[in-house]
């Protein structure tokens, strides 16, 4: 992941990223860098935006899921674990609402990363997704090496780690993260709050209609 040149600016942006005046014009979030170019003898400055690092995981059908899986599509990402006793069931229920509302939309996918890589095997993730009644061609539940999962969480600019003092032994963000077809973070929504899910639906409808 590229080093953040103006990390303090991105943190201020993230703190207020839930509220938008126009859901169809979402900002590009995260750290960014200035790239100097010379075109036709002129010095130009381009903005290089933060993108999700390269990743490769395995989903509930034992299929490889990587950045190319979502190329050119928006997707909603989150972090969870199947035995989570606190916010995960609420987050999954709200993700399912989004999945159902956009069932006929091929340009929107969903990606849930388990942070309990010891317990949440492919078989366990398959059972979990089957219980929800979702298809792996649109909603991927993925696992992989623990360090890779925790590393990609940092690339999404959210937390995910073991914590023996937390219920279930893990701590993670409750955010639903909207990522565009270029791998850029466009919005965060609280996956446990109904009002945020309503905002997210409006935003997704607006951007997919453009």
- CA terminus-to-terminus distance, the chain: 30
Give dist(CA 53, CA 167) in Å, integer.
29
pLDDT of residue 46: 76
What is the per-residue pLDDT across 75-125, written as a single tens digit (0 to 9) for each?
Answer: 999 999 999 999 999 999 999 999 999 998 999 999 999 999 999 999 999
CA distances in angstroms from 133 to 41, 45, 138, 139, listed in the order given: 57, 48, 12, 10
Give dist(CA 151, CA 57) in Å, integer.
12
Sign of the torsion angle spanned by Cα atoms 63, 66, 71, 76:
positive
Mean per-residue pLDDT of the chain:
88
Q: Which two structure tokens, joined as six digits, stand for 52?
A: 């999700």
pTM for this prediction:
0.86
């Amino acid at each position: 992941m590229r080093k953040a040149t103006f990390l303090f600016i991105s943190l201020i942006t993230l703190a207020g990223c839930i509220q938008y005046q126009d859901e169809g014009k979402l900002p590009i979030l995260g750290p960014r860098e200035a790239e100097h170019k010379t075109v036709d003898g002129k010095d130009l400055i381009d903005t290089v935006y933060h993108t999700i690092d390269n990743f490769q995981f395995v989903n509930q059908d034992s299929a490889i899921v990587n950045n190319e899986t979502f190329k050119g599509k928006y997707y909603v990402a989150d972090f969870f674990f199947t035995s989570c006793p606190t916010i995960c069931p609420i987050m999954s229920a709200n993700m399912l609402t989004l999945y159902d509302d956009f069932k006929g939309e091929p340009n929107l996918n969903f990606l849930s990363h388990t942070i309990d890589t010891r317990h949440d095997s492919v078989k366990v993730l398959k059972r979990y997704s089957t219980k929800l009644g979702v298809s792996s061609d649109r909603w991927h539940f993925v696992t992989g090496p623990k360090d890779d999962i925790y590393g990609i969480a940092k690339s999404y600019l959210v937390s995910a780690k073991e914590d023996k003092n937390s219920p279930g032994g893990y701590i993670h963000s409750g955010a639903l993260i909207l990522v565009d077809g270029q791998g850029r973070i466009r919005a965060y929504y609280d996956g446990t709050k109904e009002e945020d899910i309503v905002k997210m639906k409006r935003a997704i409808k607006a951007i997919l209609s453009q």
